[in-house]
Amino acid sequence: MSWTVGFDLDMTLIDSRPGVSKAIDQVGAEFGLPLRGTEFADRLGPPLGMLLADAGAPEALIPALVTRYREIYPSIVPYIPAMPGADAALAAVRAGGGRAFIVTGKHAPLARLHLGELGWRIDDVVGDVWSEGKSAALREHGADLFVGDHEGDMRGARAAEVFALGVTTGPCSADELRSAGAEYVLGDLTEFPDWLASWARTNPPR
């Protein structure tokens, strides 16, 4: 038996703020809407359609806005870096004989573009899921723990009854992550390899 670790993508494994901000600004300009990319970048986590609705985009236009955003997105992928410690975190899972997969609110084909750009080998990508909606993917893949930066990630992990590990690299504070169900919180993924080694000693694979 070996570990299976689920990771969120945006603001957990990748810092997508610069690219998302640029793409949203372009979509807003093309559609004549007052969409501010920096505001979207500060609230990453939920699916794009939800963020657009929260920003006041006309409901009837949201499908077209999402489509145009996805058309633009490949051009911004090269400008989106890995989060500090992301490579080492994935390597730590592999070094222990574990499996790593991604569960994200991002559209799965767009998420896979980042894997190719960054050269990451990931066992699977599940996209377009959010908060408690992530629990089905975590159960299906037999996850032992889930790593994420958002309250929704913690709720998804707890709904799936897997260990919820928070990182404070996204929009949520440590207290907010704990209130949403995080069982432990790291400052960022540079702390993950040592934490995983310690946790694995007292949590044998199921």
Q: In angstroms, rounded to a whole number, what is the distance separating the alpha carbons of residues 152 and 90?
A: 22
> What average pLDDT does this structure show over 120-144?
96
Domain boundaries, the chain: 4-15+80-202, 17-78
Please say whether the structural domain 17-78 has been given the CATH code 1.10.150. yes
**pLDDT above 80: residue 198:** yes
Task: Render pLDDT for 2-54 as a digit per residue (tens, 0 to 9).
Answer: 789 999 999 999 999 999 999 999 999 999 999 999 999 999 989 999 999 99
Query: For residue 135, how far is the Cα from the chain centroid?
Result: 14
Residue 96: pLDDT band with limits 50, 70, 90 = confident
Global pTM reads 0.95
Question: DSSP labels for the chain?
Answer: ---EEEE--BTTTB--HHHHHHHHHHHHHHHT----HHHHHTT-SS-HHHHHHHTT--GGGHHHHHHHHHHHGGGTGGG-PBPTTHHHHHHHHHHTT-EEEEE-SS-HHHHHHHHHHHT---SEEE-S--GGGGHHHHHHTT-SEEEESSHHHHHHHHHTTSEEEEETTSS--HHHHHHTT-SEEESSGGGHHHHHHHHHHHS---
Show the tokens assigned to 71: 């058309």
Evaluated on CA atoms 134, 139, 142, 147, the torsion sign reads positive
**Average pLDDT in the chain:** 95
Task: Render pLDDT for 101-111 as a digit per residue (tens, 0 to 9).
Answer: 999 999 999 99
Q: In angstroms, rounded to a whole number, what is the distance separating the alpha carbons of residues 117 and 90?
A: 15
**pLDDT above 60: residue 1:** no
Residue 183: what pLDDT? 98
Residue 206: what pLDDT? 62
**Tokens 């986590």 sit on residue:** 45
> What average pLDDT does this structure show over 118-137?
96
**pLDDT above 80: residue 55:** yes
Residue 58: pLDDT band with limits 50, 70, 90 = very high
Residue 69: pLDDT band with limits 50, 70, 90 = very high
Residues 16, 80: contact at Cβ < 8 Å?
Answer: yes
Question: Which of 3.40.50.10490, 3.40.50.1010, 3.40.50.1000, 3.20.20.80 would CATH assign to domain 4-15+80-202?
Answer: 3.40.50.1000
